[in-house]
Amino acid sequence: MTSEKRKKLLTLAVLAAALAACLVVDATLPSYHIAVKVISKASVYMLVAVSMNLLNGFTGLFSLGQAGFMLLGAYAYAVLTIPVAKRDSVYQYFDGGLLHFSLPEIFSFLGEDLGTLVGMLAALLVGGLLAALLAYLIGLPVLRLKSDYLAIATLGFAEILRTLFQWNGLGPITNGSNLLKSYPTFSRATSYVLLAGVLIFAVVLLINSTYGRAFKAIRDDEVAAEAMGINLSHHKRMSFVISSFFAGVGGGMMAMYMGTVAALPFRSSMTYEILLIVVIGGIGSITGSIIASFLYIFSSEWWLRGLDSGTFLGIHAPGLFKNGFRMAVFSVIIMVIVLFFRRGLMGDKELPDLLGRRPKKQKKEVAGK
């Protein structure tokens, strides 16, 4: 039991250290600094990657609809938070749009700062709930499919949703193929990290509850799970709905990060990025998804930038290091990771497992973060 307690304490210490690092970054660097940006983006990706892992890794349903649910969350967030005064200019081709309210303004009786925050969180929640509702509706026909077929169906659904949102008929709400902008956003990296962290904590609690155990049983052996009284369609749909909820909230946070919302970025390539993160981190490991999101976003957006712009690690070679070279190197790195870590960086291990296994290494890890 004492080793259990020590594991818990060490885990808390690692998480606290990570949070402290974010606070330091926020306090010392301006909000437009690349470090703040990549931490924010990585936080969004880690939430969505965890939501995908819940479905693909823990329930064994291979779904590729994540970008679709994110799109819904992003639009819901933007539509509900654009200030009324700015709607005329945002919806200039649609006579100021259909909706004439915004959640931050509705909650303004709480005081300006708190009202805005509550309104933003409420908009994120609505985005998540809409995504969950849609998942509930399409779950019934789609979840009868298995493996690759389920992936194709959900992928197709996400693409349909993206096209639909660009349709001018929905313009008074979605602004057609024009941008949604001028809505409030988080400017500090810590806000993103905290919000994503709290939501991921809820997923971890779910996974370790009796329902989470049932999900894992379905993943391991459907026939046995059903024979032991686990209602397959009910549980699969539950997992799909919960996963989509978090993807929707993640989409809302994505809208905050991007500053403007359009349907175009929510292509299937976004789903593939997230799938890549889940696979690199380890299918069935929350910790893996978190680590992989940070590594992926940091590398692709920041650390490897030099490969595109002439100078990398002090080597000046404009002939070789030009546009596109970054992605070539990046692909090689991913291939190497997949070759040497067959089950992803973490396999199905979590942070406490790492801390408990080798007593000598744990100190390094705490100090290193």
Partner 1 sequence: MSDPILRVENVTMQFGGVVAVDNLNLSIDPGQIVALIGPNGAGKTTAFNVITGVYQPTNGAVYFQGKKIIENHPQGKMKAQYKGQNAGAYSHVLSPTPDKITQLGMARTFQNIRLWKSQSVFDNVLIAMHCRRHSNVFSATFRLNRKEESAQRKRAQELLEIVGLADDRGELATSLPYGKQRRLEIARALATDPTLLLLDEPAAGMNPQETDDLTEFIAQIRWDFHISILLIEHHMDLVMGISDQIYVLDFGKLIARGTPEQIRNDQRVIDAYLGVAEDA
By CB under 8 A, tell whether 353 contacts partner 1.
Answer: no
By CB under 8 A, tell whether 224 contacts partner 1.
Answer: yes
By CB under 8 A, tell whether 220 contacts partner 1.
Answer: yes
Provide, rounded to whole angstroms, the least separation between the CB of residue 174 and partner 1: 32
By CB under 8 A, tell whether 238 contacts partner 1.
Answer: yes
C-beta of residue 299 within 8 angstroms of C-beta of residue 333: yes
Provide, rounded to whole angstroms, the least separation between the CB of residue 3 and partner 1: 13
Q: Which is nearer to partner 1, 14 or 203 (CB)?
A: 203
Among positions 146, 213, 322, 361, the unique one binding partner 1 when judged by CB under 8 A: 213
By CB under 8 A, tell whether 79 contacts partner 1.
Answer: no
Q: Which is nearer to partner 1, 308 or 348 (CB)?
A: 348
> What mask of x and - would describe binding to partner 1 in positions 242 to 261, judged by CB under 8 A?
x-------------------
Q: If we measure between CA atoms, which residue out of 143, 316, 157 comes closest to residue 237?
A: 143
Tokens of 66: 């994540």
* Beta bridge mates, 180: 261
**Look-up of token digits 């690092």:** 21
Judged by CB under 8 A, the number of residues near partner 1 is 27
Binding residues among 189-208 for partner 1 as defined by CB under 8 A: 202, 205-206
Stretch that binds partner 1, among 74-82, 107-115, 218-226, 296-304 (CB under 8 A): 218-226
Burial class, 208, CB count within 10 angstroms (exposed 0-12 / middle 13-18 / buried 19+): exposed
C-beta of residue 56 within 8 angstroms of C-beta of residue 208: no
Q: If we measure between CA atoms, which residue out of 59, 64, 52, 105 comes closest to residue 82?
A: 105
By CB under 8 A, tell whether 211 contacts partner 1.
Answer: yes
At residue 310, what is the residue type? G
Tokens of 14: 């690692």
Rounded CA separation 212/286 (Å): 13
Rounded CA separation 259/253 (Å): 10
| Residues of this chain that bind partner 1 (CB under 8 A) | 202, 205-206, 209-211, 213-214, 216-217, 219-221, 223-232, 238, 242, 284, 348
